[in-house]
A and B are shown apart, each in its own frame.
Chain A
């Protein structure tokens, strides 16, 4: 009798328990290691998994090369696993992961979800928790390093032979037309924009981190090609902090706020498999606020 009672109490406490998770959604696959899709403990893309990266961190790995549309299911699986029922999520994403996250929220953020039990199988899919269905997921905020939801001009100069589905999705005009970036379901996207870019300045307008220009990493709405810079450049409009309208009148997407602007031009795009570049700046903020 005591055993049954104890079991009931345990089950009740399990069902009622609430856990916060920190999901890391990678960007485009480069020449370094990539995490295994479905393995939420594989942080190969980012760096050592022993590094603090927010409470109960999970790596939401996707292949980094296929189209946004075909990989959205990886994000939805993870959100279903860890961000439903009593569980809530902080999201940290990077570069093309911004496009993937925004696409998923805009298209599926209001869909009916079946809460899951946070116990994934090898494919990254969790079982049902038994809680009632809910609308959308439980997300506290999204932090974005080098966000590429506005595309990158490096895609615009792509050639037939080097093209891949993701590169085409990242063409600036395509990224910006792919979905309504203002539809975040009232969830904030905090943007971290790096400016240590030199090699591709002939392609990337304004300040850039060598892959993404401020018009994208700053969450700026409207057409691409807009030159935005750090304060002090007389020939280029300022990217303003927060949600403030930029110098020159361009505005940000709704619920997008520039949290960090790289005035010192200290941070480039590359994580180098070691949480480096602008990823490191965002990681610091995640560690202190994802608890």
Chain B
């Protein structure tokens, strides 16, 4: 009931309101990132004029920030980025760990019990399995006894679709399978859709675990999105080459279903330090193809990683437009995929990425920045316009 009420209220905007005025929006009480603009001197101005100047100054700040950050960020293509810009993509096969107050059957929570859960994967290709685990602890972090009363997986269907079979997922604490330590109070289970009644299901499979801990009944939900067919298979062939000033890894892929493939891989330096995330997003036709994961030349020159590089943890999918589920997973390549042999940066370019997209954006952002600066200068000729955070903008009135 409480769940239904929560979902009913979710985004509920109450009865239709024909009020002609927008809800009163007083100046927000909380801090705003671009809002803390300080007047940098000059005589006090009447309130209205002061407010106008503040707005113009904010616009100068915003447009300058937009231009400068784009200039900086687009030195490398989207397909080849430093790991620092992908904080949650470095180790894609690390389990997803969460801790929440015990959710009790019928709604509500038992705040005296914290349920720690982990899930190995969310998206599964045909043949892959997901491991789940859970443990109950008290407010002091001490493990509490837990009894698993039921654990079943079922495909989520809608409307007139037939329900899928329910598949039991045994959760154990015997040190076997996905459970590393016997008798430690943490229970683990493995969902392998290929092996049961869900083998042909395409979509979200929900594993519902019911348990008792701290004298109450609770539940936990684990969702995975499973694709029962492989749209493509890796050939196992990987080659590396310096091409057009960048270091590229080419992975052989036998494409069975054509379409847009989105593939990503991680690149470590010779010391094992994560260095870059490389992405492929393009259309592939059927047949034996190559997926290019590039380490952009300037990124190599700027960061000077210890060579040679290693490619690891490659994952990808065929993106299906406008349908649900939207993807067919390619088998993940977990761990080291290719140990590079390139030790020299000879032939690697330190040129920034250039493209029609980048030129278009920089031209527009520069135009906006120039207009904002011109407006502020015109409004307040006696005050200098704040300096730019990057290269000096062109003089007022000049071309983009």
List A residues at the B interface (Cβ < 8 Å): 27-33, 47-48, 50-51, 64, 66-70, 72-73, 88, 95, 107, 109-111, 134-136, 138, 140-141, 153-154, 156-160, 162-165, 167-168, 171-174, 176-177, 180-183, 185-186, 188, 190, 195, 199-200, 202-203, 205, 211, 221-225, 230, 241-242, 251, 253-255, 257-264, 266-267, 269-277, 280-281, 283-285, 288-289
Contacts and interface: CB of A to CB of B under 8 A. Distances in A.
In order of increasing CB-CB distance, the 10 nearest A-B pairs are A69-B326, A32-B13, A264-B29, A30-B11, A276-B23, A177-B122, A225-B98, A280-B25, A275-B22, A221-B88
A176 B20 contact: no
Interface stretch (B70-78, B237-245, B341-349, B376-384): B70-78
A205 B326 contact: no
Contacts of B206: 160
Contact of A174 (B58, B85, B122): B122
B324 A165 contact: yes
Interface of B: 3-4, 6-25, 28-34, 55, 58-59, 62, 66, 69-70, 73-74, 78-79, 81, 85-89, 96-101, 103, 107-109, 111, 119, 122-123, 156, 158, 204, 206, 221-223, 225, 260, 262, 264, 279, 281, 319-327, 355-357, 360-361, 364-365, 368
Contacts, number: 261
Given A163-B156, A221-B88, A266 B29 contact: yes
A168 B224 CA distance: 10
A4 to B, nearest CB: 31
A181 B85 CA distance: 10
B72 to A, nearest CB: 9
A178 B339 CA distance: 29
B334 to A, nearest CB: 16
Contact of B70 (A186, A258, A284): A186
Contacts of B108: 202
B388 to A, nearest CB: 17
A73 B321 CA distance: 8
Contacts of A30: 9-13
A106 B119 CA distance: 24
23 contacts: A28-B11, A31-B8, A47-B22, A48-B21, A48-B22, A66-B324, A69-B320, A157-B221, A162-B3, A163-B158, A171-B221, A173-B119, A177-B96, A181-B88, A188-B69, A225-B98, A255-B69, A259-B33, A261-B31, A266-B30, A272-B23, A275-B22, A281-B25
Contacts of A273: 13-14, 16-17
B28 A266 contact: yes
A157 B103 contact: yes
Given A167-B7, A241-B33, 4 more contacts: A30-B12, A162-B7, A202-B111, A270-B12
Contact of A274 (B19, B87, B158): B19
